[in-house]
Amino acid sequence: MRDVAIVSFAQSNAASEVRSEVEILQPVAAEAVKNSGLARTEIDFTCSGSSDWLQGQPFAFVMALDAVGSWPPIKESHVEQDGAWALYEAWVKIQTGEVESALVYSFGKTSPGDIAQVQALQLDPYCVTPLWPDLDSLSAIQARACLEVGVVTERAMAEVVSRSLRDARDNPHAVRKGDHSVDDLLERPFQVSPLRELDCPANSDGATAMVIVAGDRAKQLCDRPVWIRGFDHRIDPPALGTRDLTRIPSAKLAAEKAGAHRDKLDFAEVTAPYSHQELLLRREMGLADDLSVNPSGGSLATHTLMSCGLNRIGDAAMRIAAGKGDRALAHAGQGPCLQQNLAVVLEGE
């Protein structure tokens, strides 16, 4: 595998944006390009992630090209997935040897539509979507299954929330943050029992951009390139009724294949939109109880749909670049109850 490094990262997150997607994305992409040290036209490949349903327009990603510039014509692709999978496609493209660098971006607004209803469109269209369950409810079913067998406790979930929102105070991009004691959290009413409001994701609007560069060129561009040492993603079956909801086999497999434990991890950034899912991911991906997870605050602090996975990777990379750790696991997940999971291992020089 070729050595590939994350050389720059930028993000914008807000609870609710009145700007258009192009207006949100343009400064973020410009910042990532500027901080990469490469000129826009020097970047060999571009790949993005988005979903048409968030703005209710087919080909939403076509207009987004206006925000990154595509003249002269660019080598470009797009996934209708979280930007973390766009990063994967870009990384694969560099592995072919055809390109040396890539701009990866993603964007999404959860505020314009009824996001609960929009997200119900990802379920079995014949037998499940017609009943209009929201992801909060499906995740609550998963949480209860976990509570029943004791792989999580309500207190442990509250501890995840308390720690995440406290850590988020240091994250300027977090839209939900604060100091909440575990006891206080456990007193709060249920949103969808057994989940309370703060166990659920902080849905937000925003955009994310990242530049990755291969080999020696990355070393020239930054003092401390953050290397992608392993990269993998896997998927589980969609029907919740056929899955053991207390397990996430695809997360375990992705972390193994990415080589998460070939060496000691200093911290992890995982996409856990619901508090119990962090606990499940810790178990599946073999993260020790005392390992720092989501120092950014994670999805409980900012859940920018289509960007949240790429944000976790970028947050982890920037933390390593700042010298706050040498080796991290970053994870992206999407689909109901984390059906699809991606793991990337990052290392500082």
Partner 1 sequence: MATIEELVARAEPLKGPHVIEYPFRRSCGPVLSKFFTGLREGKLIGVRSETAGVLVPPAEYDPQTAEGLTDFVEVGPAGKVVSYAWVSRPRPMQLLQHPFAYALVELDGADTGLLHMVDVGGDESKMSVGMRVAPRWKAEREGSVRDIEAFVPEAEARPAPPVIAEPDEPVKSVATPLRLEYDFTAGREQSIFLRALASKKIVGARSPGGDLVYVPPRGTDPRTAEPTPDFVEVSDKGTVVTYSIVRVPSENIHFELPYVCINVLLDGSDIPFFHVLQNCELTDVRLGMRVQASWAADEDLTESVESIRYFEPIDEPDVPFEQFKEYC
Partner 2 sequence: MAERCAVIGVGQTKYDATRYDVSMPGLLREAAIRALEDAELTWNDIDAIVIGKAPDMFEGMMYPENYLSDALGATGKPLLRVHTAGSVGGSTANVAFSLISSGIHDRVLTIAWEKQSESNAMWALTLSPPFSVAVVAGAGGFFAPLVRTYMRRSGAPEDTGILVALKDRKNALKNPYAHLQMPNVTYEEIRDSFMLWDPIRYLESCPSSDGACAMIVAKEDLAGKTPRKPAWVLGSSMRSEPVQFAKRDAVNPMAGRQAAKDLYQQAGIDDPRKQIDCIECYVPFSWFEPMWMETMGFADEGEGWKLTHDGTTALDGARPVNMSGGVLSSNAIGASGMCRYAEAVNQVRGEAGEHQVDGAKISLGHAYGGGSQYFSMALFGADKP
The residues of the shown chain that bind partner 2, judged by CB under 8 A, are 1, 46, 51-53, 56-59, 61-63, 65-66, 70-81, 85, 88-89, 92-93, 95-98, 118-119, 121-126, 129, 232-239, 249-250, 253, 334-335, 339-340
Q: DSSP characters for 237-289?
A: -S-GGGS-TT--HHHHHHHHHTTTTSS--SEEE---SSHHHHHHHHHHTT--T
Of the pair 135, 185, the CB lying nearest partner 1 is at 135
The Cα diameter of the chain in Å comes to 58
Of the pair 39, 172, the CB lying nearest partner 1 is at 39
Question: Mapping DSSP to helix (H, G, I), strand (E, B) and coil, where does residue 206 land?
Answer: strand
Q: Are residues 29 and 103 in contact, defined by beta-carbon separation less than 8 angstroms?
A: yes
Partner whose footprint covers residue 251, from partner 2, partner 1, none (CB < 5 to 8 Å by kind): none
Who contacts 286 (Cβ-Cβ below 8 Å, separation ≥6)?
Answer: 252, 255, 260, 261
Partner whose footprint covers residue 131, from partner 2, partner 1, none (CB < 5 to 8 Å by kind): partner 1
Who contacts 253 (Cβ-Cβ below 8 Å, separation ≥6)?
Answer: 232, 234
Shortest separation between residue 17's beta carbon and partner 2, angstroms: 16
Question: Mapping DSSP to helix (H, G, I), strand (E, B) and coil, where does residue 65 land?
Answer: helix
Q: Hey, what amino acid is at 280?
A: L
Shortest separation between residue 198's beta carbon and partner 1, angstroms: 16
β-pairing verdict for 340-348 and 203-214: unpaired
Residue in 106, 130, 143, 117 with CA at minimum distance from that of residue 11: 106
Of the pair 60, 344, the CB lying nearest partner 1 is at 60
Of the pair 95, 137, the CB lying nearest partner 2 is at 95
Partner whose footprint covers residue 22, from partner 1, partner 2, none (CB < 5 to 8 Å by kind): partner 1
Rg (CA), the chain: 19
Partner whose footprint covers residue 217, from partner 1, partner 2, none (CB < 5 to 8 Å by kind): none
Give the integer Cα–Cα distance in Å for 179 and 259: 35
Helix or strand holding residue 24 (H, E): helix 21-36
Paired strand residues for 333 = 341
Geometric angle at alpha carbon 132, from 131 and 138, rounded to 5°: 100
Q: Are residues 326 and 345 in contact, defined by beta-carbon separation less than 8 angstroms?
A: no
Shortest separation between residue 55's beta carbon and partner 1, angstroms: 7
Partner whose footprint covers residue 117, from partner 2, partner 1, none (CB < 5 to 8 Å by kind): partner 1
Question: Mapping DSSP to helix (H, G, I), strand (E, B) and coil, where does residue 273 land?
Answer: coil
What the block records as the tokens of 301 is 């602090």
Give the integer Cα–Cα distance in Å for 52 and 55: 6
Q: Which positions lie near partner 1, rule CB under 8 A?
A: 17-23, 26, 29-30, 40, 53, 55-56, 65-71, 111-114, 116-118, 120-121, 124-134, 136-142, 144-145, 148, 190-195, 237, 239-242, 245
Shortest separation between residue 312's beta carbon and partner 2, angstroms: 18
Helix or strand holding residue 230 (H, E): strand 226-235
Partner whose footprint covers residue 140, from partner 1, partner 2, none (CB < 5 to 8 Å by kind): partner 1
Shortest separation between residue 242's beta carbon and partner 1, angstroms: 5
Of the pair 93, 303, the CB lying nearest partner 2 is at 93
Give the integer Cα–Cα distance in Å for 54 and 161: 26
Partner whose footprint covers residue 130, from partner 1, partner 2, none (CB < 5 to 8 Å by kind): partner 1
Partner whose footprint covers residue 334, from partner 1, partner 2, none (CB < 5 to 8 Å by kind): partner 2
Partner whose footprint covers residue 61, from partner 2, partner 1, none (CB < 5 to 8 Å by kind): partner 2
Shortest separation between residue 302's beta carbon and partner 2, angstroms: 21
Of the pair 71, 223, the CB lying nearest partner 2 is at 71
Shortest separation between residue 223's beta carbon and partner 1, angstroms: 27
Shortest separation between residue 299's beta carbon and partner 2, angstroms: 17
Of the pair 119, 204, the CB lying nearest partner 2 is at 119
